[in-house]
Amino acid sequence: MIAAADRPIHRPADAQLLIADAAGRVSTTPRTAFLDVLRPGDLVVANDAATLPASLRGEHRPTGRAIEVRLAGRLSLAGDEVREFAAIVFGEGDFHMRTEDRPLPPPLAAGDRLALGPLSATVLATLDHPRLIRLGFDAAPDAIWAGLARHGRPIQYAHVAQPLALWDVWTAFAGPPVAFEAPSAGFSLDWKTLSAMRTRKIEFATLTHAAGISSTGDDALDARLPFDEPYHVPAATARAIARARLEGRRVVAVGTTVVRALEHAARRDGRVHEGCGLADQRIGPATRLKVVDAILSGVHEAGTSHYQLLRAFTDDATLERMVEAMDAHDFRGHEFGDSVFIEAHVTRRPARRRPTSRRLPVLCDRR
């Protein structure tokens, strides 16, 4: 059993890194040595999504009962399309209580009004689960942003005793506030590391992926995770990936969300296209990775969707050896924990054809 990291420190001095190479060999090193496991020419791609204050306390107006709404999904990344969200609703209690133990909200029905601090919202639809709804804010986009900024809090974790502030859940390079929970693999990268990459001829690029909620505490809901997640691949990133593939250089994903976005963007013809998409696929042992050669990720427990995704990179025997090594070295799990670096088993041949500039259908407007 891996213990949870219980303090919101992005780069603890004693953070560890477990490495599983392409041959399945497992070793550990201090995480500060992360760049030493990379090679000159590697292209590191990170998710630059900033984390929304997605937890909103309030009241279910028809019953007057206290609720917590956690925004959990959206179909677009556009800043002016923030009226509708998929949301998970909890009953009374707070984050000190494990989500597993949180009571259900009062029965919810379409049309119910929710008072959420300065914001008001309507249940647009219930989504065949007592906690899951489609929610609509009753305000203009700027007023919704202002309300979220003022009243929203980052989604909190029972394993972190002190309340998380927004700065605790933004990576050093966070940009568009579209993630529902932090793309936490990026916590290990600071500006010094980004600068050192440049010195070592390691390329750095970003995409934006609306990382969804990691766990709801409800088995039926958790089985549906991850929800569909919108992403945006900038033109510069698509070009950098095309160049790396052409030259046989590795693409290293920082976090599971980057894998999901890149593999989705390349699903048609193996090439990562610039633009927006909606990642709706599940990645697991049967997935043949088209783009990503290695992943830097957090420590995930067997059974989670994150762990399933790692099975696309390496075989179960290697994953088992990894778990043994992490146990032996007291690795810590969750958002502020230690990290793993896994090289994909099979190295692909470089893409032969030059990339085209065809764009994906535009789902988000990034004017």
Partner 1 sequence: MFTKSSTPFTGLRVAVTGGTSGLGLALVRELLGRGARVAFVARSRDRVERIAREHRGAHGIVGDVSLKEDIHPIALQVIGELGGVDVLVNNASDLGPAPLKLLADTECEEVERALDTNLLGPFRLTRALLGALAASARERGGAVVLNVSSDAAISPYPSWGAYGASKAALLHLSRIWDAELAADGVRVLSMDPGDMDTPLHALAVPDADPATLKRPEDAARELADAIAAALHDEGRVS
What does the binding site for partner 1 look like in residue numbers (CB under 8 A)? 48, 50, 52-53, 77-80, 82, 141-142, 145-146, 148-150, 165-167, 170-177, 191, 194-195, 198, 205-206, 234-237, 365-367
Closest approach of partner 1 to the CB of residue 152, in Å: 9
| Nearest distance from C-beta of residue 232 to partner 1, angstroms | 10
- In angstroms, the CA 335 to CA 292 distance is 22
Exposed e or buried b per residue across 206-230, where buried means at least 16 C-beta atoms within 10 angstroms of its C-beta: bbbbbbbbbbbbbeebbeebbbebb
Least Å from the CB of residue 83 to partner 1: 13
C-beta of 189: minimal distance to partner 1 in Å?
Answer: 11
| Dihedral of alpha carbons 358, 360, 361, 366, sign | negative
Q: How far is the CB of 356 from partner 1 (least distance, A)?
A: 19
Which C-beta is closer to partner 1: that of 131 or that of 273? Answer: 273
Nearer to partner 1, 31 or 74 (CB): 74
Question: Residue 269 and residue 353: Cα distance in Å, rounded?
Answer: 10
- The edge-to-edge listing of strands for the beta sheet with 251-254 is 26-30, 16-20, 339-343, 294-298, 251-254, 43-47, 203-209, 229-233, 275-279
CA distance to 75, 146, 187, 291, per residue, from 170 (Å): 22, 18, 8, 26
Which of 199/223 has CB closer to partner 1? 199
Give min distance, CB of 132 to partner 1, in A: 24
Pick 173 or 307: Cβ nearer partner 1: 173
Nearest to partner 1 of 4, 75 (CB atom):
75
Q: Tokens for 93, please give them.
A: 């209690």
Nearer to partner 1, 22 or 146 (CB): 146
Beta carbon nearer to partner 1, 25 or 150: 150
CB of 168 to partner 1, least distance (A): 10
Minimum CB distance to partner 1, residue 50 (Å) = 7
The answer for residues whose C-beta is within 8 angstroms of residue 39's C-beta and 6 or more apart is 202, 250
Sequential DSSP letters for 113-164? EEEETTEEEEEEEE-SSTTEEEEEESS-HHHHHHHHHHH-BPPP-TTS-SPP
**Pairing relation of β-strands 294-298 and 251-254?**
parallel
Residue with tokens 């060999």: 25
Alpha-carbon gap, residue 105 to 92, rounded angstroms: 7
| Closer residue to partner 1 in complex, CB, 127/143 | 143
